[in-house]
Amino acid sequence: MQRSRLLISLGISAAIVFGSWQFLTGSAHPVLAESVSSKVTASKGALDGMTFYGALSPGGSLETKDTFVFANGTFVSKECEVRCKYPAAPYIVRKVGNRTEFVSETKCPYKDAKIVWRGTVDGDTIKGIATWTVKRWYWRVENNFEFAGKLVSQPTPVASMQ
C-alpha cells in the first residue's frame, strides 16, 4: 500500500515538474512559443533588403509615420528605434500562399518593456499588429498598435557566377 502511494506521488511530482518546465520554456503555450525570439539567431532572412514606409497607429485615429526595415535577419521599426531605443531584432517567417507572415520581438534596453511584431508581407504591402508590453512595479500594461506600409526598396537578385 505504501509502495503504491510512493509511486503515485513520484508520478504526480514528475508530471508537475515536466508541465512547469514546458510552460516556462513556451513549448506548451502557443502564444509564448510564438513570441520567444531568444532562440532565433540573426542570419540571412527571407525578407532581407525590404524597406516599407507607412504608419503606426494605436487604433486607427492618430497615425505616426514609420519606416519598417528588414536587414541581416533582423526587423526594426525606425520610429521605435528613435523614440525608445528598441534595437533591430531577429525575425522568423512562414509562407502562406503568396504572403509571407513574420514575427519579431524586440526588448527595450533600459526598462522592462518589449514589442512583439506580428505581420504579413503581401506583394508590396506590409500590415500587422505590434503588441507593446511594459511591466511596472506590480502591474503590466499592454497595448496593440496597427501598422501598415508600402514597399520603397527591395532586395536585388544575386547574379549567377557562371
The CA distances from residue 40 to 13, 80, 103, 113, in Å, are 32, 21, 11, 19
Q: For residue 127, which of 91, 151, 152 has the smallest C-alpha distance?
A: 151
Q: What pLDDT, on a 0 to 100 scale, did the predictor assign at position 111?
A: 87
Q: What pLDDT, on a 0 to 100 scale, did the predictor assign at position 119?
A: 97
Q: Calculate the average pLDDT of the chain.
A: 78
Residue 47: count other Cβ atoms within 10 Å of its Cβ. 21
Q: pLDDT at residue 59 above 50?
A: yes
The pTM (predicted TM-score) of the whole model is 0.68
Of how many residues is the chain composed?
162
When pLDDT is cut at 50, 70 and 90, the band that residue 153 belongs to is: confident
Domain extents in the chain: 2-34, 37-153
When pLDDT is cut at 50, 70 and 90, the band that residue 110 belongs to is: confident
When pLDDT is cut at 50, 70 and 90, the band that residue 9 belongs to is: low
Average pLDDT over residues 92-98: 94
* 124/46 Cα distance (integer angstroms): 14
The matching CATH number, chosen from 2.130.10, 2.40.128, 2.40.360, 3.40.50, for 37-153 is 2.40.128
Q: What are residue 76's DSSP bridge partners? A: 69
